[in-house]
Amino acid sequence: MGESGDLLPRAEIRAIFSHLRGRFQLLLSMFLIGFIVGYPIAEYAIEWLLDAEGYRPVGVEIIVLQPMEIILLKLRIASQIGIAIFLITLISDLAWNGRRIISEGKRVVTENSRGGFARFVMALLTMLLLGGLGLFYAHIILIPFLLDYLAADAGAAGLDSTWQLRSWIGFILGLYIGSALSFQVPLVAVMLVRTGVVNRSAFTDNRGFLWFAAFAIGAFLSPPDPLSMFLVGGPMLVLLELALLIERTVWKS
């Protein structure tokens, strides 16, 4: 029985962890598949970034410090792709089985709590849409601004803009992948509310913590100035508020 004040009732927590233990091999397999497939993709991504225009500000020189740098960078990119596939599988699985998991945790199984193909398809389409929006936002706004900002900041200090290849490409791809994943926050929030894992008030009553978490993520992925932090973390908060508004007005039964 969940106690008053619990953000996540204990029965639901046990049910979710029990389900994830049963899905461990599947999730691990999806990560390994993403890692294996992502390694050769990483080579093409590196070549594309080196030849593409707009990713290297004027006056910036890209250098390689050690022979192993390319291999380490490819491993890093492959790991990020594996994590992305892992999270996509996890969200899809919870979208299909979320209500059944929670109802079994509460020991109240109804017809409506069984696996739903429609919920799975809707979640998958929403993931693709939000991921595409995240990539578009990173490509059009986030990455050009931050790269120009870093180059201008170094120039204003009288420093030569020399960037290490591994750090440069890792920074760009990290922003792409981070944006695509962070734009999934509203989908996860709505799933938690609709399946009954979290009350809607848990989000509305903890806005201060959500803002802190968003800006902490922004500081981790970007230069730690207020504008850059807002450009990274701000869209998550805006999308989360929109998702909660839609959940309350459109999907509320």
pLDDT at 225: 62
What is the mean pLDDT for each group of 10 consecutive residues in the chain (253 residues)?
A: 47 73 88 93 86 79 80 89 89 77 61 61 86 91 84 70 82 84 83 73 75 73 66 82 76 53
Do residues 232 and 185 make contact, with C-beta atoms less than 8 angstroms apart? no
pLDDT at 173: 84
pLDDT at 231: 80
pLDDT at 28: 92
In which residue are the tokens 């890692």 written? 35
For the residues of 50-66, what is the DSSP string, one character each? HHSSSSS-TT-EEE--S
pLDDT at 4: 41
The helix or strand, by DSSP H or E, that contains position 162, with its residue range, turns out to be: strand 162-164
Range 85-88, long-range pairs (CB < 8 A, 24+ positions): 85/30, 85/31, 85/33, 85/34, 86/27, 86/30, 86/31, 86/34, 87/181, 87/184, 88/30, 88/127
